[in-house]
Amino acid sequence: MRVIVVGAGVIGAATAWRLRRRGVDVVLCDPTPGMGATHAAGGMLAAISEVQHGQAALYPLMLASAAEYPTFITELAGDSELPTGHETVGTLVLAADRADRDTLALLAEVQHRHGMAVEELSGREVRRLEPAVGPRIAAGFRTPDDHRVDPRQLVRTLLDAALRHDPRRLIIEPVTAVAAQGDGWSVRLESGRAESADKLVLAPGVGLSGIEGLPPQAYAPVRPVFGDVLKVAIPPHLLGPSDTHLLGHTIRGLVHGVPVYLVPRSDGHVVIGATSREDGLAAPSAGGIWRLLRDGGTLVPGLLEAEFVEAVARARPGSPDDIPLIGEVAPGLVLSAGYFRHGILLTALGSRLTADLVCGTTAVDDHDHLAAVDPARLLTTAVGHDRTA
């Protein structure tokens, strides 16, 4: 069986790797592999601290993918000599003031009801764990099971494992159109060249809307939701005599009701993010940069003395209900889209479900997961037409 995977972000790359492990002949198509939403992702494997009110349908997916991550990482490490970027360090969710603490405490009640491990800490207890945290932090909530991964490193390793030293399996061109071809599928590339396969996986992120020829039932209402992400380098004078990093835990927080996150990287950098906007501005927002520095500095004041390294913005593929769309939408055509803010966390589960659909090996235990992500709940017959039943 030959399969074309459109999209070489973390979802497409992970799906291609899983298919290669099953002996499938896979070709990846992407004009900028790993440079879409994956490039600007924080990499928080936060099945617990990412929980939000009113998104109960997401909780089982997030927890299931987090549970699969250790096996996912172990198998990937066996297929590539590159590092995976995975770290099993917990997360601290901080409250800048009492109102923020009350908001997080209400969320902790939801988390506890779903059997999630969350421990409330005083500001003093937080600073014992992380001395760089500011002295005015009101409280914190520790989620030891929320880990992290460096998405840029992860996608490099996935591509290395998927390609297996055969660069011909990666076509660095946009796919402009697809078409059913006998019992299989063909794709047309920007150069006019065509490629054919037995089956086709669509995982192009927000690029989905630019592909022509999709069958009516394959139109997915995926919208671009932009996020700004900063990277800073920590100078030596901010570190203790025996320290190599400013922070150990991943830090998430509310600062007067506004979310922010700080993710340490193994190279000593810290990634700062959490903005979300639908204004169509592809470049980093000046207001977003200002807010991230302001709020990040409120939680960890030393960040404002760090070296500014990078500001990037990318569009995350959001579905109307923020739940992914994964399913076989036509014979041999599998959609894996709409992961929104949870693409990195849901990579382990989403890529496996997608590969199972391609290979026809879906497990009974995955029935509920597939029902939750079934594209039929949202797909329309065509752009601008009424939704199907």
Residue 95 has what DSSP assignment? Answer: E
Per-residue pLDDT, 55 = 83
Contacting residues for 306 by C-beta, under 8 A, at least 6 apart: 232, 233, 234, 235, 238, 246, 270
Residue ranges, comma separated, of all CATH 3.30.9.10 domains in the chain are 91-144+224-317
Amino acid 378: pLDDT: 80
In 75-161, which ranges are E strands?
86-87, 91-95, 119-122, 139-143, 147-149
Q: Is domain 2-40+153-222+320-377 given the CATH code 2.60.40.10 in the classification?
A: no
pLDDT tens sequence across 308-327: 999 999 999 999 999 999 99
pLDDT band at residue 143 under the 50/70/90 scheme: very high
Q: In the prediction, which pLDDT does 382 show?
A: 39
Which phi and psi angles does 305 have, rounded to 5°?
A: -100, 5
Q: Cα–Cα distance between 292 and 290 in angstroms, integer?
A: 6
The strand pair at 269-273 and 199-202 is best described as: unpaired
In angstroms, rounded to a whole number, what is the distance separating the alpha carbons of residues 127 and 32?
A: 41
pLDDT of 380 over the 80 cut: no
* 380: DSSP letter: B
Q: What is the pLDDT of residues 65-115, one digit of tens each?
A: 999 999 999 999 999 999 999 999 999 999 999 999 999 999 999 999 989
pLDDT band at 388 (very low <50, low <70, confident <90, very high): very low
Q: How much is the pLDDT for 385?
A: 36
Query: Between 53 and 195, where is the model more confident?
Result: 195
Short-list 153, 181, 148, 171, CA closest to 247: 148
Residue type, 206: V
Residue 386 in this model has a pLDDT that exceeds 50: no
Contacts of 324 (CB under 8 A, 6+ apart): 61, 336, 337, 338, 339, 340, 342, 346, 350, 373
Interval 322-378: pLDDT, tens: 999 999 999 999 999 999 999 999 999 999 999 999 999 999 999 999 999 999 988
Q: Is the pLDDT of residue 167 over 90?
A: no
**Confidence (pLDDT) at 379:** 64
Does residue 260 surpass a pLDDT of 90?
yes
91-144+224-317, CATH topology level? D-Amino Acid Oxidase; Chain A, domain 2 (3.30.9)
**Between 49 and 219, the higher pLDDT residue:** 49
pTM given for the model: 0.94
pLDDT tens-place string over residues 228-256: 999 999 999 898 777 889 999 999 999 99
Percent of the chain residues topping a pLDDT of 70: 97
Asked if 249 contacts 90 with a C-beta cutoff of 8 angstroms, the reply is yes
Q: Is the model's pLDDT at 381 over the cut of 70?
A: no
Taking 70 as the threshold, does the pLDDT of residue 384 lie above it? Answer: no
Asked whether residue 188 carries a pLDDT value surpassing 90, the answer given is yes
Mean pLDDT confidence for 17-43: 97
CATH 3.50.50.60 domain span(s) along the chain:
2-40+153-222+320-377
Q: How confident is the model at residue 126 (pLDDT cuts 50, 70, 90)?
A: very high
C-alpha distances in angstroms, 112 versus 168, 173, 201, 206, 261?
49, 47, 37, 34, 22
Average pLDDT over residues 134-160: 97
Tokens representing 213 are 């020829």
pLDDT at 389 exceeding the cut of 60: no
Q: Give residue 130's pLDDT.
A: 96
User: How many residues does this entry show for the chain?
Assistant: 389
- Give the least confident one: 126-135, 271-280, 374-383: 374-383
Output the pLDDT for position 111. Answer: 93
Q: Which of 287, 308, 153, 288 is nearest to 229 (CA)?
A: 288
Contacts of 1 (CB under 8 A, 6+ apart): 24, 25, 198, 199, 359
